[in-house]
Chains A and B, each alone.
Chain A
Amino acid sequence: MSALLWALVLLPALAGVGLLAAPLGPSPVRRAVERATPTVGISVATGVLALSAAAASVRPTTSAPFLAGDPFTLAVDGLSAVVVVTVAAVSLLVLVFSAGAIRHHRARFVGLMLVFVAAVLVTATATTLLGLLMAWEVMGATSYALIAFDWRRDTAVASGTTAFVVTRAGDVGLYLAAGAALAVASGGTPGLSLDRLALLPSPWLHIAAAGMLAAAFGKAAQLPFSFWLSRAMDGPSPVSALLHSAAMVAMGGYLLLRLHPLLLAAGWAATTAAWVGALTALLLGAVAIAQDDLKQLLAASTSAQLGFVVLAAGTTGPGAVGAGLAHLVGHASTKALLFLAAGAWLAALGTKSLPALRGAGRAYPWVGVPFTVAALALAGVPPLTLWATKESVLAAAREQSGALYAVGLAAAVASSAYAGKALALIWRRLPDHPTGYDTEEAGTRQVGWIERIPLLPLAVGAAGLGVLVVPAVWAKVDPGAPTPTSASAGEVAVSVVLAVVVTGVALRWPQRLPAPRWAGSWLRLEQVAHAGVLRPTLRLAALLARGDAALEAAVTGTGHAGRRLADHAAAIDAVGVGGALRGVVAAARRGAGLVLRPQTGQLHQYYAQASVGLAVAVLIVWLAR
């Protein structure tokens, strides 16, 4: 059984590393691998999907010794089974799309994607902090390389750096959580086991919970870390379709779902998660409404939708985890489709600006129709997936607090508004003389069949995955786990009316929606981080570097003065620095003698020898200059 799990993880990892190494080989190898890459990528991803399906039904566990007392342990349980299959399915579809969309440096692209997939699979199945942390950081590093894929563009590279550094700042939390876990004797069991965190005594429990929150908020692009996701849009669209829908950001939400017991045990941590999630859903929803760039709108919406997952992870009811997981999976399918569609239009029309994309749905109905299904799901229109899953999350929130429910409901209204806005512009009448094309790249004016195919299964997912919250279905997916919270008829009525009305309004008047400047600029989070953290750090670094140079000059100056002195001394009695050093040694000896009261004659003898030896060595150096 454990072989299955290792195969699931190692297949994409080794294939990915192989593809990454190929471009450094001799050029015949390079060309051959480059040609074979799409096939290799799709085959490996198909294998991963098959293995993940098998793993989901078999539920294997495996372990290998790693650090002393802390093995590297993976397991597929109910929660991870769902996520592993979702990630495998979305990555296969995204790699199919990439076979058409990515034309250059394919080996590097697919290699990075496969290593990334391996890291996600380990993150999802890790049962100890060690495996989790390792995979978590590898996800971050591959994300850097994928965002900066077009490395000749300075902005793309800077955006990749931003994404990595910001998420790594959150990752520090994982190191702290690991430290908290190790601080308490574990009595022979692996100290870094995730299940153990909720049992830690105070204060370690609270340190672990705080660290986990920071790491999860960072990766899930929750407040105040959300801005890196905006920068991440400088990467290729297929990257966003995988990393910024189904996998990396989703792992932030997943981590909190998995650590639900820890959050509950710490108390305040659950409350914090619930409120940060709710506020991110609302505020980033407002940010999404204000965007005029399709990918930026989708990115803000990702933060907001992950906010619902984080909100679920922070509520206490038994069905909260199931509700959050269902929303996570539904969002993965929905958002992957939307990003792929945005990518298809970007490649065809050379723009992702919403006003310029006016009528793009009519021009490319094979893209426009699936996009519509997903956008309506995002808007919360019944009976599509995100309607059902969001209902479940909101019901869990309402069980806990009216205020939380109200904020969640307002966030749902925001998602109807931004989804409606995007949809309205896509289906406007195509202008006779379209303007604004080819602003980002030269468009090809076509969307190939290989790019169209993956949109269809994703649309099915966006439409139908809501069945996950049906108790009978859930019982098959994760038997034994509490079913996702069910919404009351009244709650359903309120949200359905709100969703339909608001979506309708947005469809009718897409450009009259409120777009305050603070929302357009992503709450100015990046500017605040620059002014509050980055620039002070750089100033401090420059200050310390200047101080360090002064220290170095002072030390060198001392040496210089000593040398001049020695030169004079040498001129007088040809002893030089050797003499000075001997003097130092003698003084030291006197000092040592006072403190330590040496008792042997031989020691003096040795000491004299050592002094002479030193002097000789210095003299050699001096002469050899």
Chain B
Amino acid sequence: MLSLLIFLPAAVAAVLLLARVPDRVALWAWLVTGLVTVGLSVGMWAAYLHGHGPGQFGFAEQVPWMPGIGSSYHVGVDGLSLPLLALTAVIFTATAVYSLRERQQPRSYAALFLALQTTSLGVFSALDLIVFFVFFDLSIVGMYFVIAGWGHGPARRRSALLFFLYTFTGSLALLLGFIGLYVASDPHTFDIAELAAHPPLTGSGAAGPLVLAAIALGLAIKTPTVPFHSWLPPAHTDAPAAGSAVLAGILLKMGTFGFVRIAMPLLPEQWRTYAWVFVGVGVASVLYGALVALAQDNFKRLIAFTSVNHMGYILLGLGAAGLAGDAHARSVAVTGALVQMVSHGLITAALFLLAGVLLDRGGSYDLTRYGALAGPAPRFAALTTVAAFASLGLPGFSGFIAEFQILAGSLGPATPAAAVAALGIVLTAGLFLWAIHRLFLGTPRTGQVAFADLSARELWAIGPLLALSVLIGVFPQSLLGVVTPAADHLIALVGR
């Protein structure tokens, strides 16, 4: 069942490429496949809730792959991965809807996104370090082609290459760390479940911190955190809207997911020792991302930097889990971090699709060129404003459930850090309201051009993402039912 979910998109992609189906059919096949994966992932979520305790893997499959080195095709789901699998299915479906009118090589485009979806589902399901690594790297290759092939702007190839080389370098560091884990384990294995059951580098002296450093560097580049974020703004600026939505919504989560799936449970002792480093990097990312976003005139770069801000909160919450403090408070912080992964995925994907609309109609991301667009395009203005308020953490949206729990939960374990990070919510409020003002309100900066409002297709691509954010914001139990037990289990693993 799980492998079906993972490989269905890739299989459809192969059929699309080999059977040379008409473009229109290809785009609809992409959409239908997306809907099927949504159904499958939601079904698995429901089944998991009814049959499994925290820490147990559901839908596990294990097939020998490279038995000589203790690596197998091992996949499974738990409370950490189920929300991200569902998120992957939802966001790829939203991009499929958004891309229904794609004119540039639509068949290859659909196939590429479907293949990318398989790599994403694979990363979140992987229970073997090599499987994780393979999917992780293939996602980089796929995204490279999305940016280089379907991006815009004269620098897209360069941006794509920068993205590729930077994140690939990160994945090499990651591989190095994985090998460290393998070598230290006894018997040697790449199996995540086994490594988590018997953390290999406990009481190991210098090797443990080095392995954690390698893994953390690889994941920090992918997440990205300050100061490893330089690939992100150009990649987003030049990527097509759907590519940006997937990049921010899903690919960034591979970094943060790596922390909760690998770094924390496999290196608990080291995580506790160096938790303050992650807290520090998190706070730095929160403030740096928000401040640099505040200075942007380019709407897409602005959203890209708020991603750095939002990912910083995740690191703060995860770092706090490794510090001393009340167990419930730390569980709240980790729950917040896990919610933030889903929340940021939904909201930022919506924002990037909306940025795509802006480029499509106005030909530019430059905030200073617009103004008063709420007149000709009230739906576009309303949805963007809603997404902005969701992103700045207004209660009623998922962002609040995430950031409130991260800040409130980590104040006890990491008092000064959380207090400073809380200032981030003021900065994001200011920068989003200022952007909304410049785009939609006040007087037009340049002569008012005709600006068509959202089409039904765009509405159906973006609306559901925001509706899900509201669902989580108003009924958080819909998500926390699976996330909180997973967070508690993770705290227990880190506390060993």
Q: Is B251 an interface residue (CB 8 A)?
A: no
Closest chain-B Cβ to A166's Cβ sits at a distance in Å of 9
Closest chain-A Cβ to B20's Cβ sits at a distance in Å of 20
The reply to whether A600 and B166 form a contact with Cβ atoms under 8 Å apart is: no
Give the residues from 294 to 346 in chain B that come closer than 8 angstroms, CB to CB, to chain A: 294-296, 325-329, 331-332, 335
Write the chain A residue with the least CB distance to B137. A617
Within 8 Å CB of A577, what residues of B?
165
Closest chain-A Cβ to B91's Cβ sits at a distance in Å of 24
Closest chain-B Cβ to A178's Cβ sits at a distance in Å of 4
Write the chain A residue with the least CB distance to B161. A559
Task: Give the interface residue-count category, chain A.
Answer: 35 or more
Within 8 Å CB of B442, what residues of A?
151-154, 157
Closest chain-A Cβ to B455's Cβ sits at a distance in Å of 14
Give the residues from 597 to 625 in chain A that come closer than 8 angstroms, CB to CB, to chain B: 597-600, 602-603, 605-607, 610, 614, 617-618, 620-621, 624-625
Q: Is B43 an interface residue (CB 8 A)?
A: no
Q: Is B158 an interface residue (CB 8 A)?
A: yes
The reply to whether B326 and A184 form a contact with Cβ atoms under 8 Å apart is: yes
Given the interface pairs A138-B395, A556-B158, A563-B161, the reply to whether A183 lies near B412 with Cβ below 8 Å is: yes
Closest chain-B Cβ to A107's Cβ sits at a distance in Å of 12
The reply to whether B176 and A66 form a contact with Cβ atoms under 8 Å apart is: no
Q: Which among A134, A207, A624 is the interface contact of B145 at CB below 8 angstroms?
A: A624
Query: Total number of A-B contacts with CB less than 8 angstroms?
Result: 222
Main secondary structure of the interface of A (DSSP, over half): helix
Closest chain-B Cβ to A283's Cβ sits at a distance in Å of 25
Q: Is B215 an interface residue (CB 8 A)?
A: no
The reply to whether B396 and A138 form a contact with Cβ atoms under 8 Å apart is: yes
Closest chain-A Cβ to B240's Cβ sits at a distance in Å of 17
Within 8 Å CB of B66, what residues of A?
602, 606
The reply to whether B172 and A585 form a contact with Cβ atoms under 8 Å apart is: yes
Within 8 Å CB of A185, what residues of B?
326-328
Given the interface pairs A157-B441, A165-B429, A168-B425, the reply to whether A182 lies near B408 with Cβ below 8 Å is: yes
Q: Which among A584, A595, A603 is the interface contact of B210 at CB below 8 angstroms?
A: A595
Task: Give the interface residue-count category, chain B.
Answer: 35 or more
Give the residues from 535 to 585 in chain A that come closer than 8 angstroms, CB to CB, to chain B: 537-538, 540-542, 544-545, 548, 551-552, 555-556, 559, 562-563, 577, 581, 584-585
Residue interface mask A333-348, B partner, CB < 8 A = 1 = 0000000000000000
Give the residues from 376 to 432 in chain B that come closer than 8 angstroms, CB to CB, to chain A: 378-379, 382, 389, 394-396, 400-401, 404-405, 407-413, 415, 418-419, 422-423, 425-427, 429-430
The reply to whether A541 and B295 form a contact with Cβ atoms under 8 Å apart is: yes
The complex places the Cα of A135 from the Cα of B394 at a distance, in Å, of 10
Q: Is A169 an interface residue (CB 8 A)?
A: yes
Write the chain A residue with the least CB distance to B374. A151
The reply to whether B423 and A620 form a contact with Cβ atoms under 8 Å apart is: no
Write the chain B residue with the least CB distance to A136. B395
The reply to whether A179 and B412 form a contact with Cβ atoms under 8 Å apart is: yes
Q: Is B26 an interface residue (CB 8 A)?
A: no
The complex places the Cα of A357 from the Cα of B437 at a distance, in Å, of 33
The complex places the Cα of A600 from the Cα of B148 at a distance, in Å, of 40
Write the chain A residue with the least CB distance to B381. A151
The reply to whether B172 and A584 form a contact with Cβ atoms under 8 Å apart is: yes
Write the chain A residue with the least CB distance to B423. A172
Give the residues from 458 to 496 in chain B that come closer than 8 angstroms, CB to CB, to chain A: 476-477, 480, 484
Q: Is B231 an interface residue (CB 8 A)?
A: yes
Q: Which among A184, A592, A606, A624 is the interface contact of B69 at CB below 8 angstroms?
A: A606
Q: Which of A68, A152, A207, A555 has the most CB of B within 10 A?
A: A68
Residue interface mask B125-155, A partner, CB < 8 A = 1 = 0000000000001000100110010000000
The complex places the Cα of A181 from the Cα of B408 at a distance, in Å, of 8
| Stretch from B11-19, B178-186, B266-274 contacting the other chain | B178-186
Give the residues from 55 to 98 in chain B that come closer than 8 angstroms, CB to CB, to chain A: 66, 68-69, 71
Closest chain-A Cβ to B380's Cβ sits at a distance in Å of 10
Write the chain B residue with the least CB distance to A173. B422
Write the chain A residue with the least CB distance to B429. A168
The complex places the Cα of A184 from the Cα of B472 at a distance, in Å, of 27
Within 8 Å CB of B165, what residues of A?
559, 562, 577
The reply to whether B68 and A137 form a contact with Cβ atoms under 8 Å apart is: no
Give the residues from 95 to 147 in chain A that come closer than 8 angstroms, CB to CB, to chain B: 130, 133-135, 137-138, 141, 144
Q: Is B288 an interface residue (CB 8 A)?
A: yes
Closest chain-A Cβ to B331's Cβ sits at a distance in Å of 7
Within 8 Å CB of B327, what residues of A?
185
Q: Is B369 an interface residue (CB 8 A)?
A: no
The complex places the Cα of A621 from the Cα of B394 at a distance, in Å, of 42
Closest chain-B Cβ to A546's Cβ sits at a distance in Å of 8
The reply to whether B404 and A540 form a contact with Cβ atoms under 8 Å apart is: no
The complex places the Cα of A184 from the Cα of B292 at a distance, in Å, of 35
The reply to whether B332 and A164 form a contact with Cβ atoms under 8 Å apart is: no
Within 8 Å CB of A528, what residues of B?
none
23 contacts between A and B (CB under 8 A): A68-B331, A134-B395, A135-B395, A137-B394, A152-B375, A161-B437, A179-B407, A179-B410, A179-B412, A183-B411, A184-B412, A204-B412, A537-B294, A544-B292, A551-B227, A584-B172, A591-B176, A592-B180, A595-B207, A599-B183, A600-B69, A606-B69, A614-B168
> Can you name 16 extra interface pairs (CB under 8 A) apart from A603-B69, A614-B172?
A68-B335, A134-B400, A151-B440, A175-B404, A178-B408, A179-B409, A179-B415, A179-B418, A183-B411, A538-B295, A541-B294, A545-B296, A552-B230, A614-B137, A621-B144, A624-B148
Interface residues of A (CB under 8 A from B): 23-24, 65-69, 130, 133-135, 137-138, 141, 144, 148, 151-154, 157-158, 160-161, 164-165, 168-169, 171-172, 175-176, 178-186, 191, 204, 207, 537-538, 540-542, 544-545, 548, 551-552, 555-556, 559, 562-563, 577, 581, 584-585, 588, 591-592, 595-600, 602-603, 605-607, 610, 614, 617-618, 620-621, 624-625
Please list the 4 inter-chain residue pairs (A to B) with the smallest Cβ-Cβ separation, ordered nearest first.
A179-B411, A183-B412, A134-B395, A545-B295
